[in-house]
Structure 1
Amino acid sequence: MDTSEQHKIYEKARKRVKQKKRLYFHFVLFLIGSVFFIALNIFFNVGEQYGEWFKYAIALWFFILVLHFVNVFITNKFFGKDWERIETEKLMDKYEMKVEKLEADLIKKGVITPKDKLSNSQKKT
């Protein structure tokens, strides 16, 4: 394994650790914030005209936390940078095949000659 490959693996692992760290921080912040909302409602009667508003605020925050969890442990795992790279390569291959087919059809119809055909090195990306 060469140095650049080791560096890529290290960077990928480091980014993953940062994602998890942010999620754990978000969870701790959620717990502290929930206790704070409950304390505001019970001890200081903040927003008492809205009833038990803190339950809705905590539920909304919990939903956002669940989305964050899904992003870190589910979607990012399956739809991360590797997935993006693979899908991009698939689409580029598909596009190149369409261009080659179109060029072959144009040559067959006599619209262009084989020497007019773009070679792979001449194609614009």
Structure 2
Amino acid sequence: MFSKSKKTEKIDREQREQYEYARRRIKQKKNVMRHFIFFLAGAILVLAIEYGVLRDNPILFPDWSVWIVIIWAFILLIHLFNVFVMSKFMGKEWEDRQLEKLKAKQAERIKQLQKQVDADLPLPKKKEVQNPPPLSEKKDNNPLPPDVQ
């Protein structure tokens, strides 16, 4: 408890990023599974309502529940595609490459702007900065603006 050596584990930046990426991926996969479970329960419920309870009197039109299940299945397929297929194309490595490209473009733009500023407003030479003109050479030593005098 009172020892002199303090052993603290520090996770470097790369390990932290990998950990955060893994957490995001697990959360995405968990949400897909949750969506699938809700889809199954909802499809069974909707089909049971139409073909069990409302067998003789359809609410909207005949087989409305089948259309709901088909549309929901399509949405679930899009969700699956985004999580499992698109993450391979646009995963962590893709994000890193895009980030590096944007940083390079930004650095190039900053260089261009710096060249433009240097051309428009050159810095004074060292001799001018080191040896400013003495105060006696100034025409007016009054510190007040002209309209106040």
TM-score, with length taken from structure 2: 0.60
Pairwise CA distance, 1:105: 5.2
Structure 1: gaps of 5 or more residues = 117-125
Pairwise CA distance, 1:39: 0.6
Deviations, residues 50-106 of structure 1 (Å, cap 9, x unaligned)? 111111111111111011111211223332455334313311211221332344356
Residue-pair matches, total: 112
Counterparts of 1:1-125 in structure 2 under 5 Å?
3-4=11-12, 5-45=14-54, 48=58, 49-104=60-115, 107=118, 110-113=119-122, 115=123
Decide which structure has the larger Cα Rg and report it: 2
Pairwise CA distance, 1:13: 2.0
- Greater percentage in helix: 1
Letter in 2 for 1:104: K
Structure 2: gaps of 5 or more residues = 1-9, 125-149
Evaluate the alpha carbon distance shift between residue 106 and residue 21 of structure 1 in structure 2; reply closer, same or farther with a 3 A threshold.
Answer: closer
Letter in 2 for 1:16: R
Evaluate the alpha carbon distance shift between residue 8 and residue 96 of structure 1 in structure 2; reply closer, same or farther with a 3 A threshold.
Answer: closer
1:122 corresponds in structure 2 to: none
Distance 1:105 1:74 in 2: 45
State the SS of the aligned residue for 1:33.
helix
TM-score, with length taken from structure 1: 0.70
Letter in 2 for 1:70: F
Distance 2:112 2:23 in 1: 43
Does the Cα contact within 8 Å between 2:21 and 2:92 map onto a contact in 1?
no
2:6 corresponds in structure 1 to: none
- Work out the percentage of aligned pairs sharing the same amino acid: 33
Pairwise CA distance, 1:34: 0.9
State the SS of the aligned residue for 1:50.
coil
Distance 1:112 1:96 in 2: 21
State the SS of the aligned residue for 2:120.
coil
RMSD: 2.7
Pairwise CA distance, 1:30: 0.9
